[in-house]
Structure 1
Amino acid sequence: MARSLKCSSLFAQLAQPYGGAKAVNGFVYGNLPGLQLCSGDRVVWYTFGLGTETDIHGIYFQGNTFQKQGTTRDTLKLFPHTTATVTMNARRAGVYEVNCRVTDHYMAGMRQQYSVAECPGRNHTHTLAHTRPSAVVQFFISAEEVEWDYSPSRSWELEKHQATLDNSPGNIFVGKGERQIGSRYKKAVYREYTDATFRTQRKRQADQKHLGIMGPIIRAEVGEQILITFRNHASRPYSIYAHGIETSDTRIPVEPGFMTEFRWDVPEGSGPGLSDPNCISYIYYSPVDFIKDLFSGLLGPLVVCRKGTLSGLGAGGRGGDRRRTDAQREFALLFLVFDENQSWYLEDNIRTYLDTNPYNFTSDDSFTESNMMHGINGQLYGNLKGLVMTRGELVDWYLVGMGNEKDIHTVHFHAETFTYKTDHIHRADVFDLFPGTFQTIEMVAGNPGTWLLHCHVSDHIHAGMETTFTIRANSSQG
């Protein structure tokens, strides 16, 4: 039986200055009716964006992916007065959210539900839940609390601003004062271990040090199953959940001190589309409180590849040392203004770094601004290290955008160009990221030297969203 075609329209309208609703088709917080699908349906979604300069939307379809211009995604970007049409093969029965990943919009109700039912007489789409996975890839991941330093060195900042420690414009973000926390904050992070005892943390190799605050790269091929043994070593409930693939119910909080297993299936529909590169990127994060968990630090890259792209699994199916066989380097970059005012640990940070009772502390605009950390992988002012490659190498970059209305990023590589793919191959040196959107770009390293890499939004440059990457003339260098 041929699949049925169903059409749905989503109209995103953000609040206007005097109290308008952050709505989808005029409804907020799950009140939009009529989004019912059948498993096996081919669904066309028509999305529209209107509004003001704050109407930047990353529209996320939980539970299913869609096709757009030959690519596979689960989030699309909308700018005011733009449209996007995508096609989805509804593959798994359940009730899912369609929401805006911009944290301010998500919090204010730009969240709806759509349901997928196994309708009688329909040709249901089968998933890996009904078939044997080609391999089981194991990861041992812990959520744990650390002291994170956004700017351990201030030399870049002082040289950039031609300033001293006393008069640098960067002081508002990384300088410590009577009412400024400084560059060090208590955070929660994902870290990888060697086995289920969680005694030995897996040491990050030279090509992984650039991950910074992010968790490990979780890689899998289409048809495989990812087995996550998750331990919560933090002081509050967290979990782990992924975009783009089929996850077990990881929205249930894991209490501090507890350990559990989650199984994630990687069906064909989660893999690269016809025009995509061999591997596409998603993210994993803690969904217990999406916004506060995110700004507390819990986020990592998930990479899904075509069959035959990754090296073999380690002993017991461990995926931590697995690598691409078709590219010489891979780097993941998260562009995010970490809003420490929305972290679970704000009170702890006031108590620890300001030596003040947080219940007696009164915030103001200056304090709020000082807690906005404009980072690449959680590092400011050139402190992100490890982006090193050799001339002639094929390098894949996994670009990740998250955050709120300020998180519109234009990722610029000096001295190099890259390609990205839709229905055609495009060459550029700047790529734009919206919150909740991800992109794999491909670069052949060409010009030896150390080059600037930053977000080209002027406020973000000023606030430290910059680092460098290095291309060696040959592998014997460095």
Structure 2
Amino acid sequence: MWQKKIYCTAFAIIWLGGFINAAYAAREYWIAADEVQWDYAPTFPMNPMTGKEFTAEQRVFVEQGIGRRYQKSLYREYTEGFRALKPRLAEEQHLGILGPVIRAAVGDKIIVHFKNNTRYPASIHPHGVSYTMAHEGAPHSRAAGNEHKPDGVVAPGGEYTYAWDVPERAGPGPNDPSSIAWIYHSHVDETADTNAGLIGAIIITKKGFEDADRAPVDVDREFISLFTVFDENASLHLQSNLAACTGLCDPDDEEFQESNLMHGINGLVYGNNHGYSMRKGERVRWYILGMGTEVDLHSPHWHGATLLHNGNRLDVTEVLPAATKTLDMQPDVRGRWMYHCHVNDHINAGMMTNFIVY
């Protein structure tokens, strides 16, 4: 009898262990920081919002000084072992300048293999999830007593593997929908790193509401929007961009500084975004991200539809630097609708695009 009890207990432990391993999976990513030439307005000289050429006021941001193309550092996803760059899927086209979406469900572990292909130190610092100081991606962990401990800061050409847990407190709260967004970004020189473009989103889904890829099963489409003014005057790549500048190129000149403030949604201005497309009646989830400085108070506004945020009905919300919002929409009118920040200066500078309801 005692042998049967031992056998049954051992079987139960093995079965339970297998169940736990299946339920709490490791989500593995291969992400590099790459230097790329980024175009904030690929349709120049045409403005897609008006169907006409850019006005003199608009040309300040897309033609004056350095213009519309800048050297930047971006997060990009690779296949295992960094063998090849992963092409973006159709549903990812709207991401623009953002890094790959990191997905997990509550209870998972996230493993990110990071390679720094830029000429500057870089890292990945996550919001929301649980991590030790060795996986924080921030140099301030080298305070007294931590000088020789790893912190996740990666030198040019180096690699590092981050491990983050996804406990209950990293997932949706009682008033949240089935998934929420957090930001990840480089935190070596946070101001210069994020202005260079090193930023992306983490989406965490409530346990039991996730599909095999950890996307929420109770929505039909998901969109992510970063509202920020990329300050190219404060980017890691300012000197490289100055070398390619023609005309007014004085870093101390106020007009030149103004021309380097790129007011965009996912790093694109004046309607150059692609992929914000959906069908009438679909369940659409929007994740709104903010980043920047004291001028980065943004108020995203959707024309032609309303959304729910924590049970409240609205068509305008607000977001501050490093804050996030998750909102649900069920579009009920077909059309090509305007989607923009409602701050007047930001409208004039190009923080606008369209979403399409078929």
**Is the structural similarity TM-score above 0.5?**
yes
User: Which runs of 5 or more structure 2 residues have no equivalent in the other structure?
Assistant: 1-19, 139-150
- Structure with the larger helix share: 2
Among 432, 452, 455, the residue aligned to 2:341: 455
Partner AA of 2:155 in structure 1: E
Q: CA deviation at 1:456?
A: 0.7
Among 185, 194, 198, the residue aligned to 1:298: 198
Corresponding residue SS for 2:42: coil
- TM-score under structure 2 normalisation? 0.86
Q: Which residue of 1 aligns with 2:10?
A: none
Among 196, 204, 217, the residue aligned to 2:101: 217
Deviations 1:294-324 (A, max 9, x none): 10100001111101222225xxxxxxxx533
Q: Which residue of 2 aligns with 1:377?
A: 266
Q: Matched residues in 2 for 1:429 and 1:362: separation?
A: 39
Q: Which residue of 2 aligns with 1:188?
A: 73
In structure 2, the CA distance between the partners of 1:159 and 1:289, relative to structure 1 (3 Å rule), is closer
Among 309, 324, 332, the residue aligned to 2:224: 332
Among 305, 320, 338, the residue aligned to 1:434: 320
In structure 2, the CA distance between the partners of 1:287 and 1:255, relative to structure 1 (3 Å rule), is same
Q: CA deviation at 1:155?
A: 5.6
Deviations 1:350-408 (A, max 9, x none): 1023399x8xx552100100000000000000001110111111010000011111111
Deviations 1:61-98 (A, max 9, x none): xxxxxxxxxxxxxxxxxxxxxxxxxxxxxxxxxxxxxx
Q: Matched residues in 1 for 2:347 and 2:332: separation?
A: 25
Q: CA deviation at 1:259?
A: 1.3
Q: Which residue of 2 aligns with 1:146?
A: 36
Partner AA of 1:293 in structure 2: D
In structure 2, the CA distance between the partners of 1:259 and 1:343, relative to structure 1 (3 Å rule), is same
1:172 aligns with 2:57: no
1:283 aligns with 2:169: no
Identity of aligned residues (%): 42
Among 227, 230, 234, the residue aligned to 2:114: 230
Deviations 1:255-298 (A, max 9, x none): 11111210011111111111110001110000111111010100
In structure 2, the CA distance between the partners of 1:227 and 1:276, relative to structure 1 (3 Å rule), is same
Q: Is the 8 A contact 2:48 2:270 kept in 1?
A: no
Q: Which residue of 2 aligns with 1:354?
A: 246
In structure 2, the CA distance between the partners of 1:362 and 1:312, relative to structure 1 (3 Å rule), is closer
1:250 aligns with 2:137: yes
C-alpha root-mean-square deviation of aligned residues, in Å?
Answer: 2.0
Q: Is the 8 A contact 1:374 1:460 kept in 2?
A: yes
- The 5 A counterparts of 1:36-51 are none
Q: Matched residues in 1 for 2:116 and 2:49: separation?
A: 41
Bigger CA drift: 137-146 or 152-161? 152-161
Q: Which residue of 2 aligns with 1:240?
A: 124
In structure 2, the CA distance between the partners of 1:452 and 1:362, relative to structure 1 (3 Å rule), is closer
In structure 2, the CA distance between the partners of 1:353 and 1:340, relative to structure 1 (3 Å rule), is same
Q: Is the 8 A contact 2:42 2:272 kept in 1?
A: yes
- The 5 A counterparts of 1:120-159 are 134-154=24-44, 157=47
Partner AA of 1:144 in structure 2: D
User: Which runs of 5 or more structure 1 residues have no equivalent in the other structure?
Assistant: 1-130, 314-321, 473-478
Q: Matched residues in 1 for 2:75 and 2:355: separation?
A: 25
In structure 2, the CA distance between the partners of 1:159 and 1:270, relative to structure 1 (3 Å rule), is closer
Partner AA of 1:430 in structure 2: V
Q: Is the 8 A contact 2:126 2:136 kept in 1?
A: no
In structure 2, the CA distance between the partners of 1:295 and 1:159, relative to structure 1 (3 Å rule), is closer
- TM-score under structure 1 normalisation? 0.65
1:365 aligns with 2:249: no
Q: Which residue of 1 aligns with 2:332?
A: 446
Q: Is the 8 A contact 2:32 2:116 kept in 1?
A: yes
Q: Is the 8 A contact 1:161 1:168 kept in 2?
A: no
Q: Matched residues in 1 for 2:84 and 2:259: separation?
A: 36
In structure 2, the CA distance between the partners of 1:155 and 1:447, relative to structure 1 (3 Å rule), is farther
Q: Is the 8 A contact 2:26 2:110 kept in 1?
A: yes
Q: Matched residues in 1 for 2:171 and 2:215: separation?
A: 17
Q: Matched residues in 1 for 2:247 and 2:104: separation?
A: 45
Partner AA of 2:233 in structure 1: N
Q: Is the 8 A contact 1:161 1:169 kept in 2?
A: no
Q: Is the 8 A contact 1:138 1:226 kept in 2?
A: yes
Corresponding residue SS for 2:57: coil
- Determine which structure has greater relative contact order: mean sequence separation of CA pairs < 8 Å that are 6+ residues apart, divided by chain length: 2
Corresponding residue SS for 2:353: strand
Q: Matched residues in 2 for 1:241 and 1:259: separation?
A: 15
Partner AA of 2:346 in structure 1: H
How many pairs are equivalent? Answer: 322
Corresponding residue SS for 1:415: coil
Corresponding residue SS for 1:381: coil
Partner AA of 1:185 in structure 2: Y
Q: Matched residues in 2 for 1:297 and 1:274: separation?
A: 33
Among 310, 315, 318, the residue aligned to 2:210: 310
Corresponding residue SS for 1:300: strand
Q: CA deviation at 1:158?
A: 8.2
